[in-house]
Structure 1
Amino acid sequence: QLLAEAGYPGGRGFPRTDLWLRVADTSINKVAGEALQAMLKETLGIEINILYQQRKIYNDNLFQWQIPMGMLVFAYDYPDPSNMLGLLWRSQPKGYARHDWNNTTFNDLLDRAN
């Protein structure tokens, strides 16, 4: 319904985008990427390309916010929520953060929790 309201009924006309995956990552990423590609097509009518990149190319583009959609492996270094929430989701400047998402309320709550 939201796609139709935005002018893309059944995904028609929705711009094709790229899903970036690192070549060196486990085969589970390949399976997950292909599953996501199939689900977006089947459920929303949206088509995506899968691009396999070398680690350096992927990371250089990731930290400059040049990847429209990507997947990578992440594991906790230690069992504390701030390890995942702060490292991955707290707003940071370009070149440091993996994304440009910014939510002041989230940042404030995270700062208070730490």
Structure 2
Amino acid sequence: MKFNGFGGGGNMAQLMRQAQKMQQDMLAKQEELKNTEFTAQAGGGMVEVTLTGEKKIVSLKIKPEAVDPDDVEMLEDLIVAAFQEGFDLIDKETQEAMGPYAGMLGGLN
């Protein structure tokens, strides 16, 4: 029996199994990334943030020497820089981990 120019239904069934496995693998990778903690620093380690793969804050550490009452703006900048570095780490790791799946699924949406 022909199916739109393809051989029997076996090829279609195999493609469906491969697609399901790929979806399961992708969901597992997403879950793994979600539960991964990412740590980033700014100011040579004066400020350190830890985030989950979902970009939720786990911790923020500030060394006492980073706190200067006469220069609060510097501390604010260090905190922002540390968070931005953390977000960039998460984005990069997510892109690297999910990239292969995006290429395979490109024609399916």
TM-score bracket for this pair, using the shorter chain length: under 0.3
Greater CA radius of gyration, 1 or 2? Answer: 2
Q: TM-score under structure 2 normalisation? A: 0.24
Q: TM-score under structure 1 normalisation? A: 0.23
More helix by share: 2
